[in-house]
Amino acid sequence: MKYFASILDEEHEILITGDEESKIVLDRIPREARLRPIGLDGICSLIIDNNSFQVFVRKEEGSYFVSINGRRYRVAVQDEKKRLLQALIKTEDEQGGLVQVKAPMPGLVAKIMVQDGQQVNKGDSLVIIEAMKMENEIRSGTRGTVIQILKAKGDSVDKGAVLLVVEQG
């Protein structure tokens, strides 16, 4: 599985394969790695390329705080699917404050959660798309008014297809 980790304003790509004895690719460089808990309260043994580290890991407010060799780091982690969905759902500012909400993947429109003229807030549910037997909820990236719904329940959509338009405000 692929992850993206942000540490000190730097982003790192991490590809993990295997289970116990993991092979990882960190920023396109293959590595051998193992992370094992060695006690309670987040203390772990981390071995990377035969170098051993004792680390303390704590999850807090959607991020991880990692202490290694006496230094503390805030690490924000996203898996590949969440990152892709976030990038594709991200609305684009169009002319006149109009925002197109696009399908993040090909699929079938399972449900339209809004109506023309409806006020929406950032984070409100707009559309449910069924893809690969999973329902994916598309949320509003802005506050505004739904001014045009371009797809209907049952419609097949391609990745990037405009589902509806919201006027910001």
Give, for 12, the enclosing helix (H) or strand (E). Answer: strand 10-17
The per-residue pLDDT string of the chain (169 residues; one tens digit each, 9 = 90 and over) reads: 888 888 888 899 988 876 656 788 888 898 888 888 887 788 998 888 889 999 998 888 778 899 998 889 999 888 887 777 666 555 444 444 888 999 988 999 999 999 999 999 988 999 999 988 889 899 998 889 999 999 999 999 998 899 999 998 8
pLDDT of residue 93: 45
CA distance 82 to 79: 6
Domains and CATH numbers, the chain: 2-80 (3.30.700.30), 91-168 (2.40.50.100)
pLDDT of residue 39: 75
> What is the CA angle 154-157-158, rounded to 5?
165
**pLDDT tens track for 82-98:** 777 666 555 444 444 88
pTM of the model: 0.50
Q: Residue 124 is which amino acid?
A: D
Question: How far is C-alpha 164 from the chain's CA centre?
Answer: 22
